[in-house]
Amino acid sequence: MSHPNTQVRRVYDPLLRALHWAIALSVVALIASSQLAEAFEHGPYETTIWNLHILAGYGLTAALVTRLLWGLVGPASARGQDLWHPATWKASLKNLRLPSAHRVGHDPLASLAYLFAYGVMALMVVSGLGLAASEFQTGPLAAWLGNAGWVEDVMEDPHEFGFALMLGFVGLHMAALVFHQLRGERVAQSMVTGKQYLDAKPEVQHD
Ligand code: HEM
C-alpha cells in the first residue's frame, strides 16, 4: 500500500534501463537457445541454433561492457558505488534482518545479488568465447584458441555451472519483484519508467 507521503523520484536513466533490458533479453535468448540446441542435438539445425546462441552471447558481452563503462562515468544511480553497500550488508548479517528503509537507487541487499550476477555473467562470457573459438572456430578468440582442444575440457564445466547459477539468480530476482508487488511496493516498474516510489520515512539509508 502506498504511504500518504510517498515521493516519486526519477532515478534510473534511459541508458541504464536500456542496458538492463538488453542484458535480460540476451540472458533469456541464451537460456532458450542452449535448451533448443540440446533438444535438437545431432539434427540438421543444431549448428544454426548454436550460432544463434553465440550471437546472443555477443549481445550480452556488448551490453555488459557498456554497463561497466556506464558504472564508471554514468549518473549516481548507475555508478558502481550505487551497488556497493558493505555497512548495510554487515548490519543485516549481524542483526539477522532485512534492511527496513528504502533508499534512492538500487536496493542494498538486491545489489549483492546483482554483483553476484555480473560476476557469473563475466564467467559465462569468458568461457563462452573460449568455447565458440575451440568448438566452432568463430569469435574474437578464434585465431588464438581455434585449435586448442583443451579449452573445451577446461571451459565446459564452468559454463554449465554458471548456467545453473544464472537460473538461480533469475528465479530469485523474479521472486523478489513479485514479493514487492504483492506488498504494494512499485519496484518492478522502476526499470521501465525510471521512477521510484519512496515512502518519506526519516530512516532513509545512504551508504
Ligand atoms: C533474465 C531476466 C533478467 C535479468 C538477467 C535481470 C538482471 C538485472 C540486473 C543485473 C540488475 C542490476 C541492474 C544494474 O546494474 O543497474 C537488475 C535490476 C533490476 N531489475 Fe532486472 N533482470 C531481469 C528481468 C527483470 C524483469 C522482468 C523486471 C521487471 C519488470 C526487472 C526489474 C528490475 C528492477 C526494478 C531492478 C532494480 C531494482 C532496484 O532498485 O534495486 N528485471 N536486473
Measured by CA distance, the residue closest to atom 25 of ligand 1 is: 24
Closest CA to 46 of 57, 55, 35, 37: 37
Range 190-201 average pLDDT: 90
Measured by CA distance, the residue closest to atom 3 of ligand 1 is: 24
Q: Provide the 10 A C-beta neighbour count for residue 47.
A: 12
Measured by CA distance, the residue closest to atom 31 of ligand 1 is: 188
Q: Which atom of ligand 1 is nearest to the CA of 27?
A: 1
Q: Which atom of ligand 1 is nearest to the CA of 166?
A: 5
Question: 3-class DSSP state for residue 77?
Answer: helix
Q: In the chain, which ranges are continuous DSSP H helix?
A: 14-39, 46-73, 86-95, 108-136, 142-145, 149-182, 190-193
**Looking at residue 203, what is its pLDDT?**
45
In the predicted model, what is the mean pLDDT of the chain?
94
> How far does residue 103's CA lie from ligand 1's centre (Å)?
16
Q: Is residue 156 scored above 70 in pLDDT? A: yes
Range 88-98 average pLDDT: 91
**Looking at residue 201, what is its pLDDT?**
59
Separation in Å, CA 24 to CA 28, 47, 60, 167, 190: 6, 24, 9, 12, 15
**Looking at residue 5, what is its pLDDT?**
77
DSSP state of 7: E
- The structure's pTM equals 0.93
Summarize pLDDT for 2-36 with one digit per residue, the tens: 566 789 999 999 999 999 999 999 999 999 999 99
- Protein residues whose CB sits closer than 6 Å to any atom of ligand 1: 16, 20, 23-24, 27-28, 67, 106-107, 110, 114, 117, 170, 173, 177, 187-188, 190-191
Range 186-198 average pLDDT: 97
Range 113-132 average pLDDT: 98
Question: 3-class DSSP state for residue 166?
Answer: helix
Range 179-190 average pLDDT: 96
Structural domains in the chain, CATH included, are 7-198 (1.20.950.20)
Quote the CA–CA distance of 16 and 111 in Å, as a whole number.
15
Of the pLDDT bands very low, low, confident and very high (cuts 50, 70, 90), residue 130 is very high
Q: C-alpha 94: how far from its chain's center?
A: 27
Please answer whether residues 190 and 177 qualify as being in contact, where contact means their C-beta atoms are separated by less than 8 angstroms.
no
Percent of the chain with pLDDT over 70: 93
Summarize pLDDT for 37-84 with one digit per residue, the tens: 999 999 999 999 999 999 999 999 999 999 999 999 999 999 999 999
Measured by CA distance, the residue closest to atom 24 of ligand 1 is: 24
> How far does residue 143's CA lie from ligand 1's centre (Å)?
35
Pocket test for ligand 1, best of 10, 17, 20 (most atoms within 8 A of CB): 20
Which long-range contacts does 159-168 make (Cβ < 8 Å, 24+ apart)? 159/123, 159/124, 159/127, 159/128, 159/131, 162/120, 162/123, 162/124, 162/127, 163/31, 163/34, 163/124, 165/116, 165/120, 166/27, 166/31, 166/117, 166/120, 166/121, 166/124, 167/31
> How far does residue 135's CA lie from ligand 1's centre (Å)?
32
Closest CA to 139 of 19, 63, 51: 51
Please answer whether residues 76 and 105 qualify as being in contact, where contact means their C-beta atoms are separated by less than 8 angstroms.
yes
Measured by CA distance, the residue closest to atom 35 of ligand 1 is: 188
Residue identified by cell 578464434 is: 142
